[in-house]
Amino acid sequence: MKTALVLGAGGFIGGHLVKRLKREGFWVRGVDLKFNEYAETEADDFVVGDLRDPYFVRQIIDRRFDEVYQLAADMGGAGYIFTGENDANVMHNSATINLNVLDVAHKRNIKRIFYSSSACMYPAYNQEDPDNPNCTEDSAYPAAPDSEYGWEKLFSERLYFAYGRNYGMEPRVARFHNIFGPEGTWTGGKEKAPAAMCRKVAMTPNGGEIEIWGDGLQTRSFLYIDECLDGVLRLTRSNFQGPVNIGSDEMVTINQLADMVADIAGKTIRKNNIPGPTGVRGRNSDNRLIEQMLNWRPSQPLRSGLEETYSWIERQVMRNAA
């Protein structure tokens, strides 16, 4: 039986990845600071602990796994990573996890390891025009991410590739662009735009108003979780090491995102654009490299993923209110 290790398995993407690997017949060990809040884990072995602790990392990476996925990071949406209040923690915690994991994986002679970087590592100067952001993989330098979260991702990407060059490891690095779906954080300050929008619309009566950070003309693209996992597995099992974007190239403004969610909910909702953290002005996944190297592109429109997500978040809102 093939074995997989999922670090960050209590999180949104990690939780879904465990399920996918179980469906494929893997024996899976999941590791996280916490269990997933929204779904019971399907991992064969779920270890709760802190990957900042090198001794703990040696305990959980105790063998050669066929596939290793490193998704653990201190992260959140705009309210967490763009306010500046969590910069030291974000950089310290995530970098320490990656330093520990690579050190031990290398010593256990693990070769293939997937690492989730982020589109937040792209330079801010290429993302000032909301209609024409440039996020080609080779536009990363000269580096100028707009958040410390992005700088840590850039450092860690380089760390994974350094272990590849110096120790014969086989890193596979993806730059995720706004992954969303059911069973993700939807409240509490760490949620991202699609989940926040679904929650606000679900909590607002027909004819009401929701608040949107910024003028809402900032652009983004959003990729549904199932499609993200298709890309991750395809990359990990390929001979292409990346870095490569895993995202959707269906770009929308944040105001359009809000309108789409309201339409799915069947509600008329007014938008109140207020000052707030917004990140870069425009961002879109450039999918040319992944299409060329892996012959892969997302297959569903944003709306269908949002329908699934809205109905899950609406249920959470109703359960919380009950």
74 binds ligand NAD (CB under 6 A): yes
Element (H, E) at 253: strand 252-253
Nearer to ligand NAD, 13 or 269 (CB): 13
Which structure tokens are listed for 196? Answer: 């926040």
Q: Is there a catalytic annotation at residue 149?
A: yes
- Does residue 33 belong to the site contacting ligand NAD (CB under 6 A)? yes
At residue 132, φ and ψ (nearest 5 deg) are -135, 60
Question: Whose Cβ is closer to ligand NAD: residue 51's or residue 235's?
Answer: 51
**Using CB under 6 A, which of 4, 5, 6, 13 touches ligand NAD?**
13
* Contact between 6 and ligand NAD per CB under 6 A: no
Is 10 a binding residue for ligand NAD by CB under 6 A? The answer is: yes
For ligand NAD, which residue of 93, 218, 287, 316 counts as binding (CB under 6 A)?
Answer: 93
Q: Is 47 in the site for ligand NAD (CB under 6 A)?
A: no
Minimum distance from residue 72 beta carbon to ligand NAD (Å): 4
Choices 45-53, 264-272, 282-290, 307-315 (CB under 6 A): range interacting with ligand NAD: 45-53
Task: Tell me the C-alpha distance between 73 and 53, whole Å.
Answer: 14
CA distance 278 to 291: 29
CA atoms within 13 A on the CB side of 164: 19
| Token output for 11 | 């999180």
User: Taking the mean position of all CA atoms in its chain, how far away is CA 224?
Assistant: 10
Q: Please report whether residue 71 would count as binding ligand NAD according to CB under 6 A.
A: yes
Which tokens sit at 114?
A: 């997937």
Amino acid at 1: M
Q: Is 165 in the site for ligand NAD (CB under 6 A)?
A: no
Is 312 a binding residue for ligand NAD by CB under 6 A? The answer is no
Strand partners, 213: 274
Choose the catalytic residue: 122, 149, 224, 310. Answer: 149
CA 121 to each of CA 3, 137, 149, 303: distance values in angstroms, whole numbers, following the listed order: 31, 10, 8, 27
Residue among 302, 297, 293 nearest 257 (CA): 302
Q: Counting contacts by CB under 6 A, is residue 118 touching ligand NAD?
A: yes
Q: Is 145 in the site for ligand NAD (CB under 6 A)?
A: no
Binding region for ligand NAD (CB under 6 A): 8, 10-14, 32-34, 50-52, 71-75, 93, 97, 116, 118, 176, 178-179, 192
